[in-house]
Amino acid sequence: MRPFPARRGTLVHAVRLACERADGAALAALLLRDAVAVFDDGGLAPGVSRESRGVPAVVRSVLETVGEPGLLATEQPVNGQTGIVFRRDGAVVAIVCVGIRSGRVGSLWIVLGELKLRAWNR
Amino acid sequence: MDDDTTISQSGLDRAATIFSAARPRLFGIAYRMLGSVAEAEDIVQDAWLRWQGCDIDTIENPPAFLATVTTRLAMNSAQSARARHETYIGPWLPDPIDTSADPEVGAERGEALEFAVLLLLEKLSPAERAAYVLREAFDYPYSLISEIVQLSEPAVRQLVSRARKHLVAERRKPASRPEQRRLLDAFLAAAQTGDVSSLERLFAADVVSYSDGGGVKLAARKPVAGRARVAQFVAAFSSHFWIGADLRWIEANGQHSVVLSRDGVPYAMVTANASGSGGDGSDARIDELLWMMNPTKIAALA
Q: Specify whether the CB–CB gap between B231 and B223 falls below 8 A.
A: no
Residues B7 and B146 in one domain: yes
Residues B221 and B152 in one domain: no
Alpha helices in chain A (DSSP H): 8-20, 24-28, 55-66, 114-117
- Please state, in angstroms and rounded to a whole number, the distance separating the CA atoms of residues B199 and B230: 9
Whether the predicted interface score ipTM is above 0.90: no
Taking residues A115-121, report their average pLDDT: 91
Q: Of B104, B135, B170, which closes a domain?
A: B170
Q: Quote the pTM value.
A: 0.66
Region of B258 (left: φ > 0; alpha: ψ -120 to 50; beta: rest) is beta
Chain A hits for B98, Cβ within 8 Å:
76-78, 119-120
Give the residue from B30, B17, B199, B38 showing the smallest Cα distance to A114. B38
**Which residue numbers of B have CB closer than 8 Å to A's CBs?**
37-38, 88-100, 106, 110, 113-116, 118-119, 206-208, 210, 212, 223, 225-226, 252-253, 273, 287-288, 290, 292, 294, 297, 300
Taking only the tens place, the pLDDT of each residue in B227-271 is 899 999 999 887 788 888 999 998 876 678 899 999 888 888 898
Closest CB to B99: pick one of A33, A78, A102: A78
Indicate yes or no: CB of B226 within 8 angstroms of CB of A2. Answer: no
Indicate yes or no: CB of B93 within 8 angstroms of CB of A103. Answer: no
pLDDT at B104: 61
Taking only the tens place, the pLDDT of each residue in A32-42 is 888 999 999 88
Residues B281 and B208 in one domain: yes
> What per-residue string of b and e applies to B88-118 under the rule 16 or more CB within 10 Å gives b?
eebbbbbbbbbbeebeebbeeeebbbbbbbb
- Please state, in angstroms and rounded to a whole number, the distance separating the CA atoms of residues B18 and B22: 6
Residues B39 and B90 in one domain: yes
- Please state, in angstroms and rounded to a whole number, the distance separating the CA atoms of residues B174 and B281: 9
Q: Of B170, B194, B228, which closes a domain?
A: B170
Give the residue from B7, B140, B5 showing the smallest Cα distance to B68. B140
Question: What is the CATH number for B66?
Answer: 1.20.140.160
Positive or negative torsion for Cα B278, B280, B285, B291: positive
- Please state, in angstroms and rounded to a whole number, the distance separating the CA atoms of residues B128 and B203: 33
Residues B105 and B19 in one domain: yes
- Please state, in angstroms and rounded to a whole number, the distance separating the CA atoms of residues B226 and B217: 23
Residues B155 and B221 in one domain: no
Q: Is A122 on the interface with B (CB under 8 A)?
A: no
pLDDT at B215: 57
In which domain, by residue range, is B286 found? 174-299
Burial classification of residue A109, based on how many CB atoms lie within 10 Å of its CB (0-12 exposed, 13-18 middle, 19 or more buried): buried
Q: Quick one: how far is CA A112 from the chain centroid?
A: 11
Residues B43 and B160 in one domain: yes
Closest CB to A102: pick one of B37, B206, B292: B206
Q: Is the pLDDT of residue B218 over 90?
A: no
Closest CB to A102: pick one of B119, B287, B294: B287
Q: Is the pLDDT of residue B280 over 60?
A: no
Domains and CATH numbers, chain A: 8-120 (3.10.450.50)
- Please state, in angstroms and rounded to a whole number, the distance separating the CA atoms of residues B74 and B127: 10
Q: How many Cα atoms are found within 13 Å in the side-chain-facing hemisphere of B228?
A: 0
Q: How confident is the model at residue B199 (pLDDT cuts 50, 70, 90)?
A: very high
C-alpha dist (Å) from residue B168 to A12, A108, B122: 24, 20, 15
Q: Specify whether the CB–CB gap between A97 and B96 falls below 8 A.
A: yes
Taking residues B1-9, report their average pLDDT: 53
Chain A hits for B119, Cβ within 8 Å:
109
- Average per-residue pLDDT in chain B? 83
Indicate yes or no: CB of A32 within 8 angstroms of CB of B294. Answer: no
- Measured N-to-C along each axis, helices B142-149 and B153-170 cross at an angle, to the nearest 10 degrees, of 100
Q: Is the pLDDT of residue A122 over 80?
A: yes
Positive or negative torsion for Cα A18, A23, A25, A28: positive
How many domains does chain B fold into?
2
Chain A hits for B110, Cβ within 8 Å:
80
**Beta strand pairing call for A31-40 and A104-112:** parallel
Residues B179 and B129 in one domain: no
Residues B213 and B91 in one domain: no
Q: Is the pLDDT of residue B118 over 60?
A: yes
Residues B106 and B17 in one domain: yes
CB pairs under 8 A between A and B: 109
Residues B18 and B129 in one domain: yes
Residues B138 and B21 in one domain: yes
Q: Of B127, B148, B170, which closes a domain?
A: B170
Taking only the tens place, the pLDDT of each residue in B171-188 is 666 677 888 899 999 999
